[in-house]
Amino acid sequence: MGCRSGQRLSFTGKTQKECRNWIRETTKQVDAGIQLDAAKIKLEDFLNDWLISAQASLRPKSWYQYKFIVRSYIIPDLGKIRLVDLRPHHIQRLYDRKVKDGLGYRTIQLIHSVLHRALNHALKLGLLSRNPDDATTPPKPIPKEMKVLDEDHVQQLISAAQASNDRYLAIYQLAISTGMRQGELLGLKWTDVDWGRNTLQVERQLTRIPHVGYEFTPPKTKAGVRKIALGTEMLRMLREHQQRQQNEMISQGIRWSEDMLMFSTPKGDPIHLRALFREFKNLIKYAELPNIRFHDLRHTAASLMLNHGVPVLIVSRRLGHSKPSVTLDVYGHLIPSMQGQAAEVMDTYIAPIPFKQLHQTAPELHQH
């Protein structure tokens, strides 16, 4: 195929129809202003360049995740295809093959998100005239069942942690009291507590970066930076926890870390997520409770607040959601039905009242 600059593009297809389709699609892209040099770029090279560009706009953990997805799943299957030759059926075949191989739907959805974002970038750069991923149908992830503890189970959990002298007792208490995320809890410092105003400031989270280690990063969303009111009992429990930690600090001496974390290892270092996971699972088993995740303590907090009449707006702010509608989307099914109460209220307005009685109680209706 000849081009305006004198350069030529070539394509080898299995059938004449496939070749005609390629000529038609490529001609459209050239007419749309696709750069001819760019027409020779393989998807593999484009994605590697895109990862470098995207690094500045992504959180470190997200960038490493994108890099893993690109190099483990996308490049091995599609990397040798030229960017301008990439068609929806190539991408759809990738998704379908991953489903057949038994790869998790959430991972396939992540492959779709990463590839779609990268191809949108190519679109902005003028390397494509359209995003071929728009025409695909990736599988929808199956949502994990939300598990929550009721009031009795919460008491059972806290009592078991106290009886077993679990060093993470205060973490469990604060998680249930506030609905904070695990990383937010582990990123707290004592300077975040305002003892006079009974509040806790959330402004960072502890994040594990693959091949790097742990870092303090901003909360997941802008709304994640928030101030949470604490009850008198929760503050008392934090005081007790602080005293225990100070005893550890004295025993460690100069070996104690200077991060002043609210929750730490016996040496003052950040708590490893796996260590907390392991201890929490042991506690669940010891307390003879349903097998839940640590994250389900967040769901438990939301459930308890909503079921006890705390306004959705307040629940949303405590959880760090961007708006109340997000809280309703996630936890709306946990709000107890008030249909019966609503029916009783509306009955009082539609029940007929004798006309004479109505005249006595609302004479203004007949003044016009």
**Residue 145 CB partners (closer than 8 Å, separation 6+):** none
Same-domain status, 199 and 260: yes
**3-class state of residue 42 by DSSP:** strand
User: 271: burial class by Cβ within 10 Å (0-12, 13-18, 19+)?
Assistant: buried
Q: Which domain holds residue 66?
A: 16-135
| pLDDT at position 10 | 55
CA 65 to chain centre: 14
Q: How many domains does the chain have?
A: 2
Same-domain status, 33 and 131: yes
Q: For residue 273, which amino acid is it? A: L
Residue at which a domain ends, from 292, 321, 338: 292
Q: With respect to residue 246, please indicate whether it lies within any of the assigned structural domains.
A: yes
Q: Give the Cα separation of 92 and 46 in Å (integer).
A: 20
| pLDDT at position 340 | 72
| pLDDT at position 90 | 96
Residue at which a domain ends, from 272, 292, 312: 292
Same-domain status, 158 and 285: yes
Same-domain status, 228 and 274: yes
Kindly list the distances between the CA atom of residue 342 and the CA atoms of 35, 115, 329, 332, 347, in Å, as whole numbers in the listed order: 63, 48, 21, 17, 9
Per-residue tokens: 40: 């020779």
Same-domain status, 280 and 165: yes
Q: With respect to residue 67, please indicate whether it lies within any of the assigned structural domains.
A: yes
Mean pLDDT by 10 residues, the chain (368 residues): 49 64 58 55 95 89 92 95 94 94 90 96 90 92 83 96 95 97 96 96 89 83 94 96 93 84 92 93 96 95 92 95 92 76 77 65 51
Residue at which a domain ends, from 235, 262, 292: 292
Same-domain status, 35 and 164: no
Same-domain status, 259 and 165: yes
Q: Give the Cα separation of 168 and 173 in Å (integer).
A: 9
Q: With respect to residue 339, please indicate whether it lies within any of the assigned structural domains.
A: no
Strands 199-202 and 205-209: unpaired
Q: With respect to residue 79, please indicate whether it lies within any of the assigned structural domains.
A: yes
Per-residue tokens: 167: 């060093």
Handedness of CA 209, 214, 217, 223 (dihedral sign): positive
Same-domain status, 125 and 169: no
